[in-house]
Structure 1
């Protein structure tokens, strides 16, 4: 019989999609966004749903939906805006403490396993009190809890996206995180295939049985004429961030009216007119449909193309308005990352009685040192965002 799970803060169901691919069965999804749950229900036909703020959902409501089913795993990503390295990083943000609602459900249902995901900013020094609170809370409930940062492109997702992943089990053994399955680059010497690319996503994850869902080219057109003229001159995989980029790619009449010498660090904060590269992994897909441009066509990505880069299977259908669909995709856990995590948990479940017992407490400094490891530079002691295009991506050798 398949292991069952409940997805809290489920969104459209990226985590649920990956866990089901691994062999789990979703019995319930909970979220307060109606459009996201419409998408969730359209793709998880056997799961029940509850639409609402988890703070206002009684345990009786959950028991009514799951009946007498055993829940083996609870997963979820409590809203994390206050932890984000992109946002204000406000560790007093009330949304951060939705974690206690996650904890309330875990306390009541006592699943054997748990997965909680969040942004990498949660591991910053500024958020150390919150991280300690989370770890200690699970330990007090009897879970062996660990946290690592995983890079999605190591698990078949054609996208450079990092997430903080908490794993917990009630058997007192070390959690099994998935082994790296793909290289960081073709130059890596380890015996692994190269990371999947945007081109791979477009070739394999756009069409299902000769049908392509959520792929309206018209809505991906660029309405601004000046923007259309500019993107016409940008080669695949390139964009404008420095003055040299502008001088290389744009004719005089299409250049930006900026004083490069007086710009902070003499560059744009984020790359403008960023075309994706079919021969490389994508930058992090976010909730804005105007962030990146098609590799060769003078337009934005369609919903389906963005979903493919997130590793959603082509039969996964998105509901709601265009803006709602993009928000669902940008906020989702990439399914192939979730699948790898789920496979690790199932492997642990098969071995749990043979594995050696372990200390369930991790030192915060040890967590931070192991979570981020620069190539040839040794472990980090704090988070540093260095990517030219995406503040959530760092060129790291990760777990």
Structure 2
């Protein structure tokens, strides 16, 4: 059986790629500007060719060539959205927002049956709604209809233990039926998530269920010098067993990954000073530590929105990370990945700044899968697993600095924020 074909624009580390793969799509090509992200995507999706360049410089014919197909079922992606973000200034004339229209151009050139465009909730707020109206009009002129009313979806409604709202635009070609937005998923529970403003949400796995089987990193000195170690895992929850690959999830049609389940990855420890440790210890679960403004996670609740932090062009700062519910420290990259619904085989760059940025910039795979399932259904395709088994082992793709990653893809290492690259190399040391 042939799996429907998808193309990922603005791929990042691959959260949407994974969600669509889990729904039963073959992601035949990915486009991403940042060589560090490209390397991580290549590692996790060795079956998917990565085009390391700006979508502004990519053509539909180029994508068809690397994807080895003329017919595309769905194009998806999340154009950079800083100009529309609710965090800080929202500038309609932000040059980064022009990439939205390159997304539109590539949809027009590739002529997929469907497209999915993901972005920040801020695009649907206030004066920025005019921007969405303009985008919808341009899609209409290209023969595509956007399903209205468009929706802001919360990852917590789709089995992700995190409060994360994102705008989704679903569009279809004029000769195919429209898709629908996924309905929230629920499961029985007698708890309420925290903080208070989350209490109207259907129950998701809790923070405790997401993290309970992960080894205590404090027990491993090796994690002060690197991001992985062979470790003893605990008893997982149902959610944790799925992410560890110990339980089969019936609706997951992704390729099987073969990896070392004994290794804890993405867990480079952070050295907090004694004052910070005391403040974290004195912060109750569900409350915000008053100096750092970090939220201490409630084990019986869900995580607050995990954010990416600033790119190197704006100082390369890591976004505030939540405090672990049990230990007086910030969470690790692997713990953030669990709270984002990434399986344990999925690896991120070993440098913490890169790892958290890759998670914070990505769509939680379970949320992407919920959207992809609706596209699969309207295609009237029967999802099935392929026979591929992808073997994942340690790789320099996960540790190389920007200069080496850029060399790997034959692009300039100045492609990302040349004026602050020197500062980033210091952080990568």
Per the shorter chain, which TM-score range? Answer: 0.7 to 0.9
**2:361 aligns with one of 327, 331, 353:** 331
Distance 1:23 1:199, change over 3 A: same
Q: CA RMSD in A?
A: 2.3
Whole-angstrom distance in 2 between the partners of 1:123 and 1:211:
44
8 Å contact kept, 2:279–2:289: no
Give, in angstroms, the shift of residue 57 of structure 1.
2.4
Whole-angstrom distance in 1 between the partners of 2:5 and 2:351:
31
Distance 1:273 1:59, change over 3 A: closer
**1:197 aligns with one of 199, 206, 210:** 206
User: 2:77 aligns to what?
Assistant: 76
- Count residues in correspondence: 318
Which deviations, in whole Å up to 9, do the C-alpha atoms of 1:90-120 show, x marking residues without a partner?
Answer: 1110111111111111111100010000000
Report the 3-state secondary structure (helix = DSSP H, G, I; strand = E; otherwise coil) of the residue aligned with 1:220.
Answer: coil
**Unaligned stretches of 5+ residues in structure 2:** 193-200, 212-235, 246-259, 309-317, 382-429
Give, in angstroms, the shift of residue 231 of structure 1.
0.8
**Is 1:8–2:9 an aligned residue pair?**
yes
Whole-angstrom distance in 2 between the partners of 1:9 and 1:179:
26
User: 1:340 aligns to what?
Assistant: 370
User: 2:299 aligns to what?
Assistant: 278
Whole-angstrom distance in 2 between the partners of 1:185 and 1:96:
41
Report the 3-state secondary structure (helix = DSSP H, G, I; strand = E; otherwise coil) of the residue aligned with 2:296.
Answer: coil
**Is 1:211–2:262 an aligned residue pair?**
yes
TM-score when normalising by structure 1: 0.75
**2:285 aligns with one of 224, 228, 236:** 236
Which deviations, in whole Å up to 9, do the C-alpha atoms of 1:258-284 show, x marking residues without a partner?
Answer: xxxxxxxxxxxxx72421112111100
Whole-angstrom distance in 2 between the partners of 1:142 and 1:60:
19
User: 1:164 aligns to what?
Assistant: 167
8 Å contact kept, 2:13–2:362: yes
8 Å contact kept, 1:14–1:335: yes
User: 1:95 aligns to what?
Assistant: 96
Report the 3-state secondary structure (helix = DSSP H, G, I; strand = E; otherwise coil) of the residue aligned with 1:350.
Answer: coil
User: 2:422 aligns to what?
Assistant: none
8 Å contact kept, 1:30–1:49: yes
Give, in angstroms, the shift of residue 174 of structure 1.
3.6
Give, in angstroms, the shift of residue 200 of structure 1.
1.9
Report the 3-state secondary structure (helix = DSSP H, G, I; strand = E; otherwise coil) of the residue aligned with 2:379.
Answer: helix
Distance 1:194 1:144, change over 3 A: same
TM-score when normalising by structure 2: 0.70
Q: Which moved more, 1:154-163 or 1:129-138?
A: 129-138
User: 1:259 aligns to what?
Assistant: none
**Unaligned stretches of 5+ residues in structure 1:** 242-255, 257-270, 352-399
Whole-angstrom distance in 1 between the partners of 2:39 and 2:125:
35
Report the 3-state secondary structure (helix = DSSP H, G, I; strand = E; otherwise coil) of the residue aligned with 1:229.
Answer: helix
Whole-angstrom distance in 2 between the partners of 1:99 and 1:196:
33
User: 1:181 aligns to what?
Assistant: 185
